[in-house]
Every structure is written in structure tokens, then in C-alpha cells.
Structure 1
């Protein structure tokens, strides 16, 4: 399969442990371990940026290596790595780079990252990028931040809670990692789930209910 198509499908499953959630007939084909760091503004009153790092499984990484290693030297030089990064950047654009950012349950618009960086470490593909909210995301109410794949093709897993980080939260805020139970998530969203989700979940946007998230809860000062 050509990587351009595989990268497009990759833009559909980076959500956190989708190997074990969702309808039984849906299985991820690409796997990645993720880290996500929330960067706050200098005054610590809003979210300034999200910093993502994704480490892909050996099989997908070897596919990338074979397709982009033009001189067959079993490594990717800077030019080849840039081509990988540019391909993934373009392919993930229509999926908002798998980002989940909501404020009190409403989607928060994000600017596309200006670029992605690609590298190889221990024969595994690493993708890094940073994105910013289109408007300042004030630390108020409940803010959920994570990644999810609307097509269930790729599973991005935060293997440890420590891989979802935020530093410098004001005293009015608390943070916790939320890992939804699949059965409970389905039951809680039963009224909003349509037949389309159960017949073809890859054609809906409801996979976000299964995503592992960093949840920030912030109260007004005073």
C-alpha cells in the first residue's frame, strides 16, 4: 500500500487504546505510543500550545523506511525525513491532526501546525509537532485534551498517565487523566449514537468518546 494512502488512514485511528474499544468488527492496523505536553501562557491563565510526540510500531515504521529510502541504504537522510513529515502533515490535515480539544464539551478550534518533524529512533518512526489554539483557550471550566481517530484505523496509546502532562497550573485548576470505560462510554452516549455509528463507526466522529484525555477543571478566582 502506498504510504500516502496509509498515512491518510493513519489519520484515523490515533486515539488511545482503540485496540480494545469500539464495535467488535473494528480493529486498528497502525499503532503508536504518544506523549502530549500542554504548554501554558506566560501568565499561566490559558493554553498556549500542545506539543505532540508519536512513536510508531515496528511494522508501520519499516513500511515508511522501505517507501522513502530512495537510495536503499536502510536509513533516511534529512531530505527523505522531510518528505515523510510533509506527507504525514498533508494527510492528517483533514483530520485536525487527530487532536481532541474541548471546553465544557464544545470543540475548540486549533491552528494547523506549521510543520511536522520526522525522525527514526531504534528503527521506529517518530513524529513531532506543536499546535496552538486559534483563540486563547482560557483556563476556565472543564477542558479536555487528547487525541482520537475518527476511523479507528490507528491506535495511539498513552501507555502511562505521565505521558499526558501540564506544568504550572494555577491553584484554581486541577488535572487528571481520564481513560473511558468502553461500555460506560457507549451507555452514557446511547441517545446521541446513531445506527450509522454501529453500522460503520469509521464514517462518524463519535470515536472521541473512547479517547484517553487530560481533563483540566478550573474554577474562577476569588
Structure 2
């Protein structure tokens, strides 16, 4: 039988019109040693109590109300497999163009204060030079999972060159729809499998650096 995690993270259907799972996120953008490019993204997601308890019941095979190392690995492996087709909910663009990311080799799962925590690190297939406008964030194209940065300080980048600026962008949904009205179609609002256009609602870190040359 499909696990709760696989069903949830691969959820499609009419129910996906609004979030059913909630998580607080932290994202650390790791720069190269010379501080000239983005080397990796480090993610931490802390899930809501209801979903966490569902995962506990699903994966607690020996019914001892806790997850041992093997059970936690099963959780991590399930999430890893389920998120693969969604690029692990990552949004990475340079001057509006998607950046190819290397799938993380594995994820880590843990429970803290009865909440599921997922951690992983991913790298761009090619280092992202700090040039132009770089957007980095997290979003679920199916709208099933709401991953939220509750504080701007939960999206960080250390050692950014002084020639670059950074800001956290939190799009207003109504404004995002209005600004993208020409490219939004009826299919966008009715396609239960998700669409890349949902990234227009994502909270993201925007880096602006002088273009090369």
C-alpha cells in the first residue's frame, strides 16, 4: 500500500487546489570559497503537527511511538523518491531562466518536539555565477504543500560580495496573478498535476549582482 508520505507529496487531484500540509522552512544559500558563485542550497523543513503525526503512525512499524534509525531512513527515502519529479520543490532562476539542479543524493529525516524535520542539500549542475538577477526559493507546483519562511531571516546567504544586493520577496497573490494575466490560462487554475506558473506565488531570496563583463 502506498505510504502516507508518497500519497501526500505526489498528491494530485481537485483537493490540491489549496494546501493540506504545512511546513516552516529554512534555506541557507552556500557560496563558493571565493564568494563568486552559488555552490549549494541547504534546506530544512519542519512539518505541522497533524502531518507529522500521520507520518509517525505510518512508519512506526513496531508501534513504540517513536521512529528508530531504520524507520527514519524509510521516511527520508520515501520523501526523496516522491519529490524527485518536482525538483524537490526548489525554485532557482537566473534572469528569469530556470537553473538545472543536481538531485540531492539523499535526504535526512528526524523528529523533534513531535514534528517531522526534513533536511537536504543540493547543488546546481553548474555553479551559478553571481551575475544578474538570481532568484532562489521553495514552492510546491501542486499547491498541496505550503512551505513557508515565517521570518525573512530564515533565508540566508553569508559572504555576499558588497557589489551585490539581496532581499526577500513575498509576492502578493492578487498582484502576481494580475502581473502574469497574459500567461495564465484556465488550465493553470484547473490542472491538478501542478504547473511551473505556481512559482509566481513563492517567497524567494532575490540576489542582484553586476553582470559579468
Answer whether contact 1:51 1:130 (CA < 8 A) is retained.
yes
- Sort the Cα spacing of 1:201 and 1:70 in 2 relative to 1 into closer, same or farther, 3 A: closer
Answer whether contact 2:135 2:204 (CA < 8 A) is retained.
yes
Q: Paired residue for 2:38?
A: 47
1:202 deviates by: 4.5
The number of residue pairs the alignment matches comes to 208
1:204 corresponds to which of 171, 195, 201 = 195
Please report the TM-score for the alignment, with normalisation by the length of structure 2: 0.94
- Return 191-200 or 49-58, whichever deviates more: 191-200
Answer whether contact 1:197 1:204 (CA < 8 A) is retained.
yes
Matched, 1:128 2:119: yes
1:193 corresponds to which of 181, 184, 189 = 184
Instruction: Find runs of 4+ consecutive structure 1 residues off by over 6 angstroms.
Output: none
Q: Paired residue for 2:77?
A: 86
Where in structure 2 are there 5+ consecutive unaligned residues?
Answer: none
Answer whether contact 1:32 1:56 (CA < 8 A) is retained.
yes
Where in structure 1 are there 5+ consecutive unaligned residues?
Answer: 13-24
Choose between structure 1 and 2 for higher RCO, CA contacts under 8 A separated by at least 6 residues.
1
1:198 deviates by: 2.6
User: After the TM superposition, which residues 36-115 of structure 1 pair with which residues of structure 2 at under 5 Å, given as runs?
Assistant: 36-115=27-106
Answer whether contact 2:23 2:45 (CA < 8 A) is retained.
yes
Answer whether contact 1:45 1:138 (CA < 8 A) is retained.
yes
Distance 2:160 2:194 in 1: 37
1:126 deviates by: 0.1
CA-to-aligned-CA distance 1:88-131 (integer Å, 9 cap, x gap): 00000000000000000000000000110000000000000000
CA-to-aligned-CA distance 1:14-54 (integer Å, 9 cap, x gap): xxxxxxxxxxx932100000000000000000000000000
Aligned CA-pair RMSD: 1.6
Secondary structure at the aligned position of 1:35 is classed as strand
